[in-house]
Structure 1
Amino acid sequence: MRSLTFVCCLLVLVATAPQTATGQAASATTTAGGPDEPSIHAVYPDPVAGGDEGEFVVLSAPEGTDLGEYAVTDGDSTAAVPNTTASGRVVLSTAPNRTRRLTDRPVVGLDGHLGLANGGERIRLQHGNRTVDAVRYADPAEGELGVVNGSVVRWRPLGATDRPVVRAAGGEVRAFALPDAPATPLRPIRNATERVYLAGYTLSSDRVADALVAAQRRGATVRVLLEGDPVGSRTATEARTLDRLTDAGVSVRVVTGPRARYRYHHAKYAVADRQAVVLTENWKPAGTGGNSSRGWGVVTAQPRVVAGLNRTFQSDAGWQDNQRWSTYRRGRQFERGEPATGDYPTRFPAESVAVQRTDLLVTPDNAQRKLVTTIDDAEDSVDVVQPTVGDWDSPLLRALRRAGARGVEVRLLLSDAWYVREENTRTAERFREWAERNDAALTAKVADPDGRYEKIHAKGAVIDDERVVVGSLNWNEQAATENREVVVILHGSDAAAYFGAVFDADWAAGGFDTPVGVLAAVVGLLVVAGLAARRVSFEA
């Protein structure tokens, strides 16, 4: 229906014209024992510590396994497991006290010496003279855990999560766009009485700080987790905001240091009592303050989504790669920032919309894989809005081109912010040239804010007028495989209609454009119509 409407509009216009990665995979060989025997789940051969102190092997043990019958060997040295009964994952180490600071799983101290070579070697799990399991690893990176996955070892930062997609039953959510509805993402925080867990990249908004301090004074547990080293450095305004929160008793921590599991903590969400906010914007005046950026967001009370975000926050805030803001800021200098003071109209007020289901995704665990599948399943249309996109051959951009090549109408809207304008102009032109060469129904353009916002910072998509993607993920390989990001997929035509209207308005403001395939079809219709008109005129 949208394509038909688009063609009709075009005819009128003509007539009236003026990148975890979880690490590199190393070859592995595994000889598994029976189903009632333990197996090697992972190896950690190169800790971030002098002398590799704390290195370990992880076993996966069936219920009630007596580990005292087993030993671990590298062929040169052997370490026996003491008498202990275990179930599930258990960590074996010759330096158990050190290792307990690196993992929250049960740690068992080995009897004897075992050194895991940094250059790689073959580790065997022995039961008497019999090899129960064996794993060969190669080229580990410092501070990474090698997880056995079939015939390969996949390396990922120690402590990195491996979460499945969380699926929540339908209900009603609150959809909003920024800068139009800046009060909406703050309302759950302002109403919270029990807890507020706020995760972000940066936080410099007085409005957000006011809401957090007020929640703290009401007796709620308030915790904030941010990126320690944002691109371009932290501003003095943000430092003062975080000082104020700390002075008020709010727990503020930043992700930083050699044990950081993710390149950037870039997720943008909050858990407030039994509600959650997921959005594309930073907690600053330009974003949630409504003073600059086009953003998308959603407020939901779906229990599984709220619980999933709570688990993500607890995992990230509880790991060893973050520290108190008061400790981090000592001796640091902060940059002077330019305040965002824009004032924009409310054309898209927040709206409650029904959803059939909501999927909660996180990176690097599962989001890119799920988004690629979602695009590959598209049948009619894919509308994407991004500040900028990554490499031409990244999985998400390849998925967009596959969709356009099979006739799905693909539109990609990019930001015109001064720092990405030239790059995005080249990207849009490359997509259009590719579409022309391949007769694909795909086009891309750089947005024109037209006084409705300053720049695009939204990261989302509307697919088949039935699904909506909203979250912090920039569509590039680094963000998808190295950052902590949070994304939701809303299933339902009501949610798609809301965000689709926002996208259509922003697309239309960018000037006239159309996919090459559609344009060719319309030109054909015009030619046929012109010939028919000539014939009618002649016969008359």
Structure 2
Amino acid sequence: MLKSKLGLMAAALLCSGCSQAGSVVGTAPADLAIPKQIDVVFNHNARSRYRSPLTGDWRNGDDMEAWLIEAIDAANDEVLVAVQELSLPRIAQALIAAENRGVRIAVILENSYSQAWSEQRPSRLNQRGRQRWDQLNRLADSNGDGSTSPEEAFHADAVALLQAAQIPLIDDTEDGSSGSGLMHHKFLVIDQTTVITGSANLTSSGLHGDSGRPSSRGNVNHLLRFHSPELALVFRKEFTQMWGDGPGGKQDSRFGLQKAKEGVQTVQIGGTRVDALFSPHPKRDANHGLNLLAKQLKATRQHIDMALFVFSAQQLTNVLREQIKEGVEIRLVADPGFASRPFSEVLDLLGVSLPDHACKVEAGNLPLDQGLKGIGTPRLARGDKLHHKFAVIDNRKVITGSFNWSPSAAHTNDETLLVIHSPQLAQHFTREMDRLWDGAELGITARMRRKLNRQKIRCGDGVERR
């Protein structure tokens, strides 16, 4: 938690146009309890405020970057970082400062994001890579003169800073391969006692927003902190498999399907049961993540809330179909950009199919006969994404992690999937769900309708199954 509570409150009161005083990041609002030894933050939290590092203006949300830096600053022995992307220089500086005071630092990134962007040539990047480079280059223009100097670029390049400080860093090619599906984890293990994990990458877009877009508030994300040596041991074991002997050496790192296959590992944290599963698993392995999700959905008796970036697993739609028949109430908010893709299960729940560019519908696609009313897409600023991967089951359990609800997450990527048995924590995620639901566009959206109409004109009656 941030130390300067009184200072933050005073600043909020002085801020013209602020609708409510700031609150300490990571502190549960007074009306909601929080489980012992567990904290949660949401970067779009309507009940908290902080100054955006992009604009200097006050905005709604928990300052997750400050929250992370405070945790790193408190480390005494070790900080292990496994995250798909780290591009925030202040996080890198905090890791370097920790290393300078004798803390062991080790960092694992996805190979697509493990190079110093300031040393890349935009002309050699693909379109997505150029867009990322442009975004980071704009953020690096610290004096706002419209031109980024080499010095500005270096000091704004998290990976370059880590490399210059000789912080040990690897990616998922360290095993000698061209990389796993995705090294998609998002976790830190601190001093073998604390785990921080959730849906957020350590980027400006992941926490704060996009440069040059004043309305952007960042992808909608959350992070959890667990004070538990037992859970830290579980995550540290996963990290160690991937790390091997670190940079260079024996190439004994293990990523993807090369890792030892483990099932669900359960720990108790202050009376709260937490189930952890790390992917991937082969399809023939019954321990895989989609089976764990299906088991949780099948156990539902009353209602399921879901806030999902990606939902492309037909297996889970089939389970939801049966639960609906049993009277289980469903609410789903999905990322607007993903929801209308041909392989999106959001379309199945709405009772429609969308053929792909080749006028083919994926094999096994089975839309509901009658679309659900409880399906929506939230209203977000341009460029922002709903990046959560959570569900709340019967107001008693929270499912979360880096794990998108997709076959790739289960069978290809390095991922974290958690099931947290806590009615108290469920209330926090239900409140986030309610916030997203308020004002969401329900049913078949105008965007979906346009796509459906275009493909109907393009494909006519010539739709095939793959």
TM-score bracket, shorter-length normalisation: 0.5 to 0.7
Equivalent in the alignment of 1:139:
none
Determine if contact 2:350/2:443 at 8 Å carries over to the other structure: no
Equivalent in the alignment of 1:500:
430
2:40 counterpart of 1:175: yes
- Residues in 1 aligned to 2:90 and 2:387: alpha-carbon distance in whole angstroms: 20
Alignment of 1:2-13 (within 5 A): none
Alignment of 1:48-197 (within 5 A): 171-179=36-44, 180-181=61-62, 182=64, 183-197=66-80
Amino acid at match of 1:250: I
- Residues in 2 aligned to 1:312 and 1:195: alpha-carbon distance in whole angstroms: 15
Change (3 A) 1:319 1:407: farther
Amino acid at match of 1:196: V
Deviation at 1:219, TM superposition (A): 1.0
2:236 counterpart of 1:310: yes
Equivalent in the alignment of 2:88:
205
Equivalent in the alignment of 2:392:
462
Change (3 A) 1:425 1:445: farther
Deviation at 1:260, TM superposition (A): 6.0
Deviation at 1:458, TM superposition (A): 0.9
- Residues in 1 aligned to 2:295 and 2:406: alpha-carbon distance in whole angstroms: 16
2:365 counterpart of 1:448: no
Determine if contact 2:351/2:372 at 8 Å carries over to the other structure: no
The match for 2:112 among 204, 209, 229 is 229
Equivalent in the alignment of 2:161:
244
**Higher alpha-carbon deviation: 488-497 or 281-290:** 281-290
**CA deviation string 1:90-137 (max 9, x = no partner):** xxxxxxxxxxxxxxxxxxxxxxxxxxxxxxxxxxxxxxxxxxxxxxxx
Equivalent in the alignment of 1:278:
197
Alignment of 1:319-468 (within 5 A): 356-365=272-281, 366=287, 367-391=289-313, 393=314, 395-417=315-337, 420=338, 422-423=340-341, 427-433=345-351, 443-449=374-380, 454-468=384-398
Residue 460 of structure 1: SS of its match in structure 2? strand
**CA deviation string 1:145-179 (max 9, x = no partner):** xxxxxxxxxxxxxxxxxxxxxxxxx8430011124
- Residues in 2 aligned to 1:309 and 1:220: alpha-carbon distance in whole angstroms: 18
Change (3 A) 1:462 1:185: farther
- Residues in 2 aligned to 1:198 and 1:386: alpha-carbon distance in whole angstroms: 24
**CA deviation string 1:459-516 (max 9, x = no partner):** 11111100011211111101211110012221111100001100111012204569xx
Amino acid at match of 1:461: A
The total of aligned residue pairs comes to: 311
Change (3 A) 1:507 1:424: farther
Amino acid at match of 1:382: I
Structure 1, unpaired ranges of 5+: 1-169, 325-352, 515-540
Amino acid at match of 2:195: A
| Bigger share in strand | 1
Change (3 A) 1:512 1:412: closer
Change (3 A) 1:286 1:437: closer
Change (3 A) 1:281 1:475: same
TM-score normalized with structure 1 length: 0.52
- Residues in 2 aligned to 1:426 and 1:364: alpha-carbon distance in whole angstroms: 21
Deviation at 1:289, TM superposition (A): 4.4
- Residues in 1 aligned to 2:367 and 2:186: alpha-carbon distance in whole angstroms: 37
Equivalent in the alignment of 2:187:
269
Structure 2, unpaired ranges of 5+: 1-34, 45-60, 114-125, 138-153, 210-216, 250-268, 282-286, 353-365, 445-466
Determine if contact 2:304/2:391 at 8 Å carries over to the other structure: yes
- Residues in 1 aligned to 2:442 and 2:90: alpha-carbon distance in whole angstroms: 38
**Higher alpha-carbon deviation: 366-375 or 479-488:** 366-375
Determine if contact 2:186/2:198 at 8 Å carries over to the other structure: yes
Change (3 A) 1:426 1:472: closer
TM-score normalized with structure 2 length: 0.60
Determine if contact 1:406/1:440 at 8 Å carries over to the other structure: no
- Residues in 1 aligned to 2:392 and 2:424: alpha-carbon distance in whole angstroms: 11
Change (3 A) 1:323 1:449: farther
